[in-house]
Amino acid sequence: MAQQPPESIEVSRKRRARWVWLATALGIACAASAVALGLTATTLGSDVEARTWDWRVRQWTPDRPVSDAVVLEIDEGSLHWLSKQEKIPWPLPRDVWCRVLSELKIAGARLAVFDVLYTEISEFDEPFAACVKDHGATVLAWQCMGEDVSPPPPWRVDNESLRQLPMRSCNSVVPVDMLRDAARFGGRVEMEPDHDGVLRKTTPLLRFEATSEAYPALGLAAAMLATGATPAVDATSLHFGPVQLPIDSGGRALLAWRRPDNPVPRLPLRQLYAASRQREEGLPVTFDAKQVRDKVVFIAGTAAATYEYRVTPVGEGVPGVFAHIALYEMLRGGALARVPPAYVNPMSCGVLALLVAFAALGLSTIVRQTLAAAAALAGYLVFVALAYRSSGVWLGLTAPVVAAFVAFALGSLANYRMVGRERRLIRHAFAHYLEPSVIDQLVQNPDALQLGGERRDITAFFSDIRGFTTLTEATEPAQLVVLLNECLGALTTVLLHDRGTIDKYIGDAIVAMFGAPLAFDDHPLHACRGALGVQRRMAQLRSDFRARGLPELHVRVGMSSGYALVGNMGSVQRFDYTMIGDMVNLAARLEGTAGVYGVDILISHAMAERVKHVFLVREIDAVRVKGKVIGVRIYDLMNELCDATPEQHRAAQALETGLALYRAQQWDAALAILQPLVDQGDGPAKVLVGRVEVLRHKQLAPDWDGVYEFTSK
């Protein structure tokens, strides 16, 4: 059977790796979701989730529009005023309420809803009952509590759909008969806080025994009397006119609370009582009837003596009447609060955990992993906030956040074991050849180590130890290895410091590049600094070698800048990050040519043009290297401009003047300029003087361009 080509094997390996990565992420997401859902299913977990709902209600609840509900409160100020001014003690006698109902009727209030229990017989029951009946639109309170069964009051709803509600029996605590018969309607006022004591839900309809009759809560009773609508239910909602109020399997509805700084209007009881007395005494009535006209007035205690305070999501010490008003406003078309279907929370856990797992598995550093995971969490938090503010939806927060943290921990561990191993191998393999920043780039993008290349603007660097072949013949192998390693190690450190990348070592030669794989625009400048740094380091090494009785070594360098193909080249089994192209070949030729001219660093014309504003360079010749048709101008890199000596500046100017005379075939003038440089030991001047001595005796072609052609590498 035919064997698969290496490229196909690599493609298959990549595909398998991607599937393994995806399966790992999915497995982490599932495991994290399972752990999170299990933890939040405990009492502690559900308490934490409930607290996050309370926090949302306090922080994210938008302003509610003004409704027709008003609270007539039995507050501390009213009780004090009644006691001091009218000598009326607490508990208030029921004739007080006759005055209140009378004023409400005169002012045009639509309903009077009492969140006060009148379960004990009083001497004022008969006149109070007459006032209740005369008002005609009064809702009284009763409550269902305890396990003893007693008949409920007649204020019920009869609807076949109500048979879907769970059945419950309890002891009915109802107003005295005379008041019960006088009232138009009534509603339940018992509170049903969660097990942590916070009142978050209410039961709008309570079904008694195996009948189709149910008994409304006070808020629902007020809404029924105010609108004339009758409720019906299905498996998930209570239908009241156009409103569909979400309910759970126990028939309970999540309350949509107002923020404390956006309450319903509140009126102290003393204002209406004072208005009644003013009217009785023939005085001008100071009460503004507009405050209650066409309003549904909830009469309730807010003073400490009434013991009507509850713990709610918006805070502690909230009068219980506001729970009834919250239900009333929801049924009258106000904002709703709802719990989503049961599958939404596990789905939220899974999606968020998967995103965090992707971040932990797919990114290279813990900082990036953390930032990406934090972004995913922040995005989910924003989604939760928008869901609450726009629709009142209680999306799970605790379980998804726990799932995200578990997924991050598992994903980071898997990343360290699976991906970290590959990255550690990359760091180890390239530690001696690349600068740390380049290694970081490769670690973050291991795919860059696959076969292939790209055309990049770079600087190629070639160096060679002068006379190394002769040195090998005259030096013991062990001593030669010590010398070579010490020399190459020192020069490599210099090149890496100047952002160079070591391509390869070829015996005593170093091949390097600047500007790849990490791109930067000023790579020619870094290459020049690196080359000068190499020469300075070699000078230090020669001094040290002399002191140790070792042979002195000299290095020549050739460099060129331009476009070349860089990348990983070779086979699937083995490849190197390297460079190829004419510019690279030119740099290699210049390294050998530097020895001919007796200079340390030889660079191309293209590179000289890019560095001459920072470095002192001088043109020394125009040559046609082996294998090339077009001549190239070559330059001696002497020093940085800021460090160059006056002698170097004079030598550079003199050589370029002499070179111009040489090209103009003004031999005597050229010699007059160049010979003093030769006497000073200037290598390029010596080459030109020798060439003048030969050419001045020849008949040159009319198109002679001064380009010297090398016939060997």
Write down the pLDDT at residue 573. Answer: 63
- The burial class, CB within 10 Å (0-12 / 13-18 / 19+), for 445 is exposed
Give 479's pLDDT tier (boundaries 50, 70, 90): confident
pLDDT band at 353 (very low <50, low <70, confident <90, very high): very high
Concatenated DSSP letters for 75-140? -HHHHHHHHHHS-PPSSPPTHHHHHHHHHHHHHT-SEEEE-S---S--TTHHHHHHHHHHH--EEE
State the pLDDT confidence band at 630, using cuts at 50, 70 and 90.
Answer: confident
Give rounded-to-5 percent helix, strand, coil for the chain. 50, 20, 30
Q: What is the pLDDT of residues 377-424, one digit of tens each?
A: 999 999 999 999 999 999 999 999 999 999 999 998 888 776 666 666
Decide: 232 and 162 in contact? Cβ < 8 Å: yes
Q: Is residue 707 one of the residues assigned to a domain?
A: no
Given a contact cutoff of 8 angstroms between Cβ atoms, the answer to whether 514 and 461 are in contact is yes
Residues 668-712 pLDDT 10s: 999 999 999 999 999 999 999 999 999 988 888 888 888 888 765
Q: Are residues 463 and 497 in the same domain?
A: yes
Measure the CA–CA gap between 462 and 338, rounded to whole angstroms: 73
Q: Is 321 exposed, middle or buried (0-12, 13-18, 19+ CB in 10 A)?
A: buried
What's the domain count of the chain?
3
Bridge partners (DSSP) listed for residue 616: 639
What is the DSSP annotation of 39-90? HHTSHHHHHHHHHHHHHHHHHHPPPPPP-SEEEEEE-HHHHHHHHHHS-PPS
Pick the closest to residue 553 from 463, 643, 432, 686 (CA basis).
463
Whether residue 140 sits in one domain with residue 22: no
Q: Identify the residue whose tokens are 């050589």.
A: 655
Exposed/middle/buried for residue 485 (C-beta within 10 Å: 0-12, 13-18, 19+) = exposed
Span 337-356, average pLDDT: 94
Residues 362, 420: contact at Cβ < 8 Å? no
What percent of the chain is modeled with pLDDT above 70? 90
Please check whether residues 198 and 234 belong to one and the same domain: yes
One-letter identity of residue 144: C
The predicted-structure confidence for 64-117, as pLDDT tens digits, reads as follows 888 999 999 999 999 999 999 989 998 899 989 999 999 999 999 999 999 999
pLDDT class of 18 with cuts at 50, 70, 90? confident
Q: How confident is the model at residue 441 (pLDDT cuts 50, 70, 90)?
A: low
pTM: 0.64
DSSP 282-346: TPPP---GGGTTT-EEEEEE-SGGGT-EEEETTEEEEETHHHHHHHHHHHTT----BPPPTTHHH
Looking at the structure, tell me whether residues 113 and 244 fall in a common domain: yes
Of 278, 301, 331, which closes a domain?
331
Residue 640 clears pLDDT 70, i.e. is over it? yes
H-helix or E-strand spanning residue 487: helix 477-497
179 with 288, same domain: the answer is yes
| Residues 147 and 188 grouped into a single domain | yes
Please confirm whether the linkage preceding 446 is cis (ω < 30° from 0). no
Q: Which residues pair with 567 in a beta bridge?
A: 578
Query: Does 292 have pLDDT greater than 60?
Result: yes
> Which of 535, 433, 527 is closest to 489 using CA atoms?
433
| Residue 14 confidence class, pLDDT cut points 50, 70, 90 | low
> What confidence score (pLDDT) does residue 437 get?
64
* pLDDT score of 277 more than 70: yes
- Identify whether 655 is part of a domain: no
> Number of C-alpha atoms within 13 angstroms, CB side, residue 186?
30
Angle between helical axes of 582-597 and 683-695 (0-180°, round to 10): 80
pLDDT given for residue 607 in this prediction: 97
Pairing of strands 243-246, 315-319: unpaired
Res. 6: pLDDT tops 60: no
295 plus 327 within the same structural domain: yes
- Residue 602's pLDDT band (boundaries 50, 70, 90)? very high
> For residue 587, what pLDDT band results from cuts at 50, 70 and 90?
very high
Say if 354 falls within a structural domain.
yes
Judged against a pLDDT cut of 60, whether residue 264 lies above it is answered with: yes
In the predicted model, is pLDDT for residue 521 greater than 50?
A: yes
CA atoms within 13 A of residue 381's CA, in its CB half-sphere: 14
**How confident is the model at residue 605, as a pLDDT?**
96
Is the bond preceding 263 in cis, omega lying within 30 degrees of 0? no
Burial classification of residue 702, based on how many CB atoms lie within 10 Å of its CB (0-12 exposed, 13-18 middle, 19 or more buried): exposed
163 and 267 fall within a common domain: yes
Residues 53 and 72 in one domain: no
* Residue 713 pLDDT greater than 60, yes or no: no
The mean per-residue pLDDT over the stretch 198-219 comes to 88
State how far the alpha carbon of 378 is from the alpha carbons of 49, 389, 401, 412, 653, in Å.
17, 16, 10, 19, 65
Amino acid letter at 253?
A
Q: Is the pLDDT of residue 510 over 50?
A: yes
Looking at the structure, tell me whether residues 173 and 247 fall in a common domain.
Answer: yes
The whole-angstrom separation of Cα 151 and Cα 173 is: 9
Q: What is the pLDDT of residue 475?
A: 72
Domain boundary at 331, 366, 398, which? 331
Q: What is the pLDDT of residues 320-334, one digit of tens each?
A: 999 999 999 999 999
What local confidence, expressed as pLDDT, does residue 435 receive? Answer: 61
Return the HEC string of 632-664: EEEEEEEEECCCCCHHHHHHHHHHHHHHHHHHC
What range defines the domain where residue 562 resides?
445-611
636 domain-assigned: no
DSSP for residue 450: S
pLDDT of residue 449: 55
Element (H, E) at 537: helix 523-547
Range list of H helices, 332-444 = 344-362, 366-391, 398-414, 420-430, 436-444
**Spatial distance between the Cα atoms of 690 and 642, rounded to a whole number of angstroms:** 33
For 549-562, how does the pLDDT look when each residue is reduced to its tens digit (9 = 90+)? 777 889 999 999 99
Question: What is residue 572's predicted lDDT score, i.e. its pLDDT?
Answer: 59
In a domain, 691, yes or no: no
CATH number of domain containing 470:
3.30.70.1230
Q: What CA–CA distance (Å, rounded) separates 114 from 192?
A: 19
Q: Give Cα separations from 207 to 165, 173, 216, 222, 252 (angstroms).
A: 6, 16, 9, 18, 12
71-75, 478-482, 640-644, 651-655: segment of lowest average pLDDT:
478-482
Answer yes or no: is 658 within a domain. no
CA–CA gap between residue 229 and residue 241 (Å, rounded): 6
Residues 27 and 49 in one domain: yes
Between helix 43-60 and helix 6-40 the angle, nearest 10°, is 90
Is the residue at 616 inside a domain?
Answer: no
Q: Is 78 left (phi over 0), alpha (psi -120 to 50) or beta?
A: alpha
Q: How far is CA 28 from the centre of its chain?
A: 20
| 3-state SS, residue 568 | strand
Mean of the pLDDT values across residues 491-500?
Answer: 92
- Looking at 429, 454, 484, the residue that finishes a domain is 429
**Rounded to 5 degrees, what are φ and ψ at 338?**
-145, 150
- The token duo for 427 is 């760091």
Scanning 158-281, the segments in alpha helix (DSSP H) are 177-182, 218-227, 269-280
The answer to whether residue 202 sits within a structural domain is yes
Judge contact between 495 and 505, C-beta under 8 A.
no
Q: What is the pLDDT of residue 166?
A: 87
pLDDT of residue 450: 53
Please check whether residues 319 and 424 belong to one and the same domain. no
Count of other CB atoms within 10 angstroms of residue 494: 19
Number of residues that this document lists for the chain: 713
Q: What is the pLDDT of residue 1?
A: 45
